[in-house]
Structure 1
Amino acid sequence: MSAVQEQGEIFSVQKQGAYLQFTVVAPRIAAGFQPGHFVAVAVGGENTAMILRRAFALAGATPTGQFAGTIQFVVAEHGPGTRWLVQRRPGDVLDLVGPLGTPFPLPSGPSPAVLVGGGYGTAPLIPLAQALIAQGSPVEFVLGAATASRLSGEMTAKRLAGRVTVTTDDGSAGQKGLVTDALPEAIERINAEIVYACGPMAMLKAVGQVAQKKAIRAQVAVEESMACGIGVCMTCVLPVRGEDGRSRFVRSCVEGPVFEAGRVRWDDVGKLPADLVGADAMGGH
């Protein structure tokens, strides 16, 4: 299903530690949702100078049944755009475009999986866990953040999965340390065949390295700034190795945000590698 633009009324706003989870009535977006999709939200109101939308991973959608036609996404206040958004209240209307991006690829059959979330990066992993569990895959979560208030979705993850390991940089919740400290044990505990992750870029790089050492796949949803969300502005490009072995800039919002971790050239993010396809042409501009 193609992305649509929809005027969605805010149904509820719930506090989640340092974040807010929005539930918005958007039946056409909800109808096409798959785990890993995101939504682009216009911010600032009709007369604002903030013309660029803000992208948020979808934490779920209910196209049928109770609360039919709603979508959920988690917002962290970072700047003027998100500051305006967190001031919205139930009954207010948001201008939304979605569902956008490429969803998480699901295994063809039951496949033990570890889901790794950093901060509000847990949001898209919740519906992913539901989809994996529905097809018979054992699921375990490893959730991390800088401090306890920056964790997200811990209670929901515990209701879904048999085990949730929490880490915080300062030790204010769970065990002190990084998600990658707990990840190898989690992989071994359920004999995981795949790791899924969403969070800061440095975390995704480290998760990919752990998965590589364990000789299993890792699918990661990147948190790049996505100004347009539809592949036009080229602000969210990443250097990624293709199946032909050659590297190209690809758009996180269209070809992603989900990528195979081993294909992303993490050390070259934000750079123009000389061996990139087309680098010779781009270098002079």
Structure 2
Amino acid sequence: MTGTVLTTRRVDAYHALTVVAPGIAERFRPGHFVSVAVGGAQTSMLTRRSFSVHDVKPDYGGTVEFVFTVGGPGTAWLAERRARDTLDLVGPLGRPFPLPRDPVTCVLVGAEYGSAPLFTVADALQQRGCRVDFVLGAASSDRVFGALRARRMGETTTLTTEDGSLGMRGRVTDVLPGVIADVRADAVYACGPMETLRGVTAVAVEFDIPVQVAVEERMACGIGVCMTCVLPVIGDDGVTRMVRSCVEGPVFRGERVRFDDVGTIPFDALGAPGGGTRNVG
């Protein structure tokens, strides 16, 4: 759909765009993302950019906000958008976060602006009577996203920075074991760079609690056509398949993602050259 930019704002090191997009807002579930065309009608930038949804509000018929950092010409173009400009969006896309049926204690972990989608998750969990605790981190204080909102929403909020400029010095994975133990967590939800998700998953597995992760893979189309976002994931039958993050994900059970093999086709994956070709029905 074509959405009209309502507001643009800087959030420390990041940019946030709020777009009037009623159809997307109506269908949104926590963990969904949007795919945005960049560059305008005459651009040579043909591929879309995918962004996790940070917030959805009923204002103006339904608005969607996403957060990003400038990393190339596409996001630089987006950062120059102003109120009343229009954007071509597709959404909501992907598989959302599964929510527990019963009230449980959940630790939500985010790194950099990857923490943006955690707040709609937190809201949905709290509506189900769940306790929510946050662990947020980044390289420096200006790159920690959502600290104030986390403090308002969470029972506890633990912040980390690699340079020690905010909270505890270190990474989210350094403090996560202590938080899980202190709050007696039943589940972990995580968003952020793949290396962070790998570490968070390892901690959750050590505590033998479920972990849901929203992976950050480059998605050129967002609808499962281009195959740029495939990664190896172990299925319920124990077989590894190369799955599309944008369709089968971006949310996966952390222990099912073969983080060590991301960027490759494991020899034992179904259909892999020289192996993984057995018929599993």
Q: TM-score normalised to the size of structure 2?
A: 0.96
Question: Given the alignment of the two structures, is residue 238 of structure 1 paired with residue 231 of structure 2, yes or no?
Answer: yes
**What corresponds to 1:261 in structure 2?**
254
3-state DSSP of counterpart to 1:81: helix
Residue aligned with 2:273, SS: helix
Deviation at 1:67, TM superposition (A): 4.4
Q: Identify the residue that residue 20 of structure 2 maps to in structure 1.
A: 25
One-letter identity of the residue aligned with 1:49: S
Report the residue type matching 2:66 in the other structure. F
For residue 223 of structure 1, report the CA deviation from its aligned partner: 0.5
| Amino acid corresponding to residue 36 of structure 1 in structure 2 | G
Deviations along 1:13-66, one digit per CA (max 9) or x if unpaired, are 12111001111100000000000000000000010000000000001212x3x4
Distance in 2 separating the partners of 1:68 and 1:148: 35
Change (3 A) 1:47 1:114: same
* Per-residue deviation, 1:184: 1.0
Structure 1 residue aligned with 2:7: 12
Long gaps (5+) in structure 1 = 1-5
* Counterpart in the other structure of 2:89: 96
**Counterpart residue identity of residue 24, structure 2:** I
Further displaced range: 12-21 or 242-251: 12-21
Instruction: Name the aligned partner's letter for residue 87 of structure 1.
Output: E
Identity of aligned residues (%): 55
Q: Does the alignment pair 1:56 with 2:47?
A: no
Deviation at 1:281, TM superposition (A): 7.2
- Equivalent pairs counted in the alignment come to 276
User: Residues of 2 paired with 1:178 and 1:169: CA distance?
Assistant: 6
How do residues 1-285 of structure 1 correspond to structure 2 at under 5 angstroms? 6-62=1-57, 64=58, 66-280=59-273
CA distance in 1, matches of 2:41, 2:225: 22
Q: How large is the RMSD of aligned CA atoms in angstroms?
A: 1.3
- Aligned partner of residue 72 in structure 1, secondary structure: strand
Shift of 1:282: 9.7
Distance (Å, rounded) in 1 between the aligned partners of 2:166 and 2:264: 36
Opposite residue 27 of structure 1, the aligned amino acid is: P
1:159 offset after TM fit, Å?
1.2
SS at match of 2:52: strand
List per-residue Cα deviations over 1:54-102 (Å, max 9, x = no partner): 000001212x3x4441001001111010010001111110000000000
The whole-number CA distance in structure 2 between the counterparts of 1:254 and 1:231 is: 6
Contact residue 35 and residue 60 of structure 1 kept, 8 A: no
- In the alignment, the residues of structure 1 paired with residue 275 and residue 223 of structure 2 have an alpha-carbon distance, to the nearest angstrom, of 22
Q: 2:136 and 2:104 mapped to 1: Cα distance?
A: 20
Which residue identity does 1:209 align to in structure 2? Answer: A
Cα distance change of structure 1 residues 67 and 167 upon mapping to structure 2, 3 Å threshold: farther
What letter corresponds to residue 119 of structure 1 in structure 2?
Answer: E
- Per-residue CA deviation, residues 183-217 of structure 1 (Å, 9 max, x unaligned), is 11111222111000000000000000000000101
Q: Secondary structure at the match of 2:196?
A: helix
Supply the AA of the counterpart residue of 2:4.
E
- C-alpha separation between the residues in 2 aligned to 1:201 and 1:129? 21
Alpha-carbon separation, structure 2, partners of 1:153 and 1:172: 16
Aligned-partner Cα distance in 2 for 1:266–1:239:
8
Distance 1:253 1:137 in 2: 28
1:3 maps to none
- Distance in 1, matches of 2:171 and 2:273, equals 39
For residue 248 of structure 2, give the secondary structure of its aligned residue in structure 1.
coil
| Conserved 8 A contact 1:138-1:190 | no
- Give the 3-state SS of the residue equivalent to 1:279 in structure 2: coil
